[in-house]
């Protein structure tokens, strides 16, 4: 069963609850809810970056001339909304690794996952 990838613009009440759960010094304006796999909270730029990358319609080049969507097997569609009920305001640890395991893609060992995502997003 596939789920929606949801980018949520948080209300002031939701922002307060997310900051309480994730630390009062964190800047939180948005949430990215990944169905039953978890969620992340952060600024718009951070959440939109992963929303775009994990969108089932977004294709990346995995080999020369070969393109595929990273998590097309997990998500039906990507949705942006301002009204979404959130039950758990804690950011899911290792969300990208959880999604990779659920999609059947083995995550790279150790801290290189950050490097992989950096390369996919165009950082050097």
The upper half-sphere exposure of residue 80, i.e. CA atoms within 13 Å in the direction of its Cβ, equals 9
Of 76, 75, 77, 71, the C-alpha closest to 104 is 71
- Sign of the dihedral through C-alpha 35, 37, 42, 48: negative
Alpha helices in 1-124 (DSSP H): 12-22, 44-54, 95-103, 112-120
The band of 17, judged by pLDDT with boundaries at 50, 70 and 90, is very high
Residue 2 scores a pLDDT above 60: yes
Residue range 19-46, pLDDT digits in tens = 999 998 889 999 999 999 999 999 999 9
- Number of helices (H) and strands (E) in the chain: give both, helices first: 4, 6
Chain segment 63-113, per-residue pLDDT in tens: 788 888 888 889 999 999 999 999 999 999 999 989 988 988 765 555 566
């Amino acid at each position: 069963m596939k789920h929606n990838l949801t980018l949520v613009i948080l209300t002031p009440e939701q922002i307060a609850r997310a900051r309480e759960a994730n630390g009062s010094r964190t800047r939180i304006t948005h949430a990215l809810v990944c169905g039953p796999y978890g969620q992340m909270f952060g600024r718009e730029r951070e959440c939109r970056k992963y929303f775009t990358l994990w969108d089932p319609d977004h294709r990346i080049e995995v080999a020369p001339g070969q393109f595929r969507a990273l998590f097309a097997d997990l998500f039906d569609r990507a949705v942006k909304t301002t009204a979404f009920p959130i039950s758990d305001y804690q950011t899911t640890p290792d969300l990208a690794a959880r999604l990779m395991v659920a999609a059947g893609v083995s995550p790279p060992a150790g801290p290189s996952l950050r490097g992989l995502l950096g390369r996919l997003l165009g950082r050097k």
